[in-house]
Amino acid sequence: MGYINNNTGYPKDLLASRAVIKRQNFALIPPDGLVKNIIPGFENCDITILATPKLGASFVDYLVTMYQGGHNLQGFGDDGIEVFAYVIEGEVKVKANEQSYDLHAGGYIYCPAGVKLYLQNLVSSSRLFLYKRRYNPILGYQTRVIVNHVEQLERVNYENMNNVFIQDLLPKELGFDMNFHILTFLPGASHGYIETHVQEHGAYLLNGEGMYLLDNQWIPVKKDDYIFMGAYALQACYAVGQQPLSYIYSKDCHRDVN
Ligand code: UGY
Ligand code: MN
């Protein structure tokens, strides 16, 4: 008979499988659990390492607090490694390709693989969201240093919703193998559906609070939380409270899967 397991003689499980295959596919890291690390090159800075390949990410995210005189004059980044920095608060001088720029909160810089990023804090304390990843090149296309401020970016309705907005921080060009975006949900707004996709995200919550669905688990989230969403992590959220919920996040793009 088709519903009898031939090996044991017991009936097959027809309504649910008892198999368990569990892989960590997301992480929520609130600020109270963060630990401080020392990383060569960062002087007078506290660094917290967030998502890494150990968590399943193809990138590394960091939170950096730079104190008075804090700097990285050795250069962040390496051959083959692209880097990105976003100023959460404070003011820093950044330098890439011998050009310097002063960035305050909302300012950001992208450096292509092989271009080092130099950082110098200009005030008593600044906080940065940092990212690095091995660049995936394609023939005939390049990236370049991008320096900008989120106030300069167009804010467009996200997927035809009038209460969710997106800003693209990097050019939508084939040379770029990832982008950074800021999504903003007005109170009560939500994703239009539960996303299921191969791309990964590292997200830092800039404002507000909400409920985030991660692999079918609803979790309360708020400003200063960090979320890693691995490939295929189910994901959606809605904003609660009086303020918009917004977060900056990375997303790999423009490449086929090997
Ligand atoms: O671009 C995205 O995939 C984005 N909407 N994901 C997310 O907000 N979790
Ligand atoms: Mn997504």
Ligand 1 neighbour 202 (Cβ under 6 A): no
Q: Among 158, 194, 235, 238, say which to mutate for ligand 1: greatest number of ligand atoms within 8 Å of CB.
A: 235
Ligand 1 neighbour 224 (Cβ under 6 A): no
Q: Ligand 1 centroid to 89 CA: how many Å?
A: 24
pLDDT at 15: 63
C-alpha span between 237 and 233 (Å, rounded): 13
Q: Which residues surround ligand 2, an ion (CB under 5 A)?
A: 195
ipTM of the complex: 0.99
Average pLDDT value for residue range 59-75: 98
Strands (E), 90-224: 91-96, 99-104, 107-111, 117-121, 125-134, 146-149, 156-157, 164-168, 178-185, 201-207, 209-214, 217-222
Q: Ligand 1 centroid to 137 CA: how many Å?
A: 24
20 or 227, higher pLDDT? 227
Is the pLDDT at 31 greater than 50, yes or no?
Answer: yes
Is the pLDDT at 3 greater than 90, yes or no?
Answer: no
Q: Which residue's entry shows tokens 């009038």? A: 162
Ligand 1 atom at shortest distance from the alpha carbon of 181: 1
121 or 13, higher pLDDT? 121
Domains present along the chain, CATH in parentheses = 26-252 (2.60.120.10)
pLDDT band at 1 (very low <50, low <70, confident <90, very high): very low
pLDDT above 90 as % of the chain: 89
Average pLDDT, the chain: 94
Alpha carbons within 13 A on the beta-carbon side of 239: 22
pLDDT tens digits for 153-188? 999 999 999 999 999 999 999 999 999 999 999 999
Contacts of 258 (CB under 8 A, 6+ apart): none
Is the pLDDT at 23 greater than 70, yes or no?
Answer: no
Is the pLDDT at 197 greater than 80, yes or no?
Answer: yes
Q: Ligand 1 centroid to 34 CA: how many Å?
A: 24
C-alpha span between 253 and 172 (Å, rounded): 9
Which ligand approaches the C-alpha of residue 237 most closely? Answer: 1
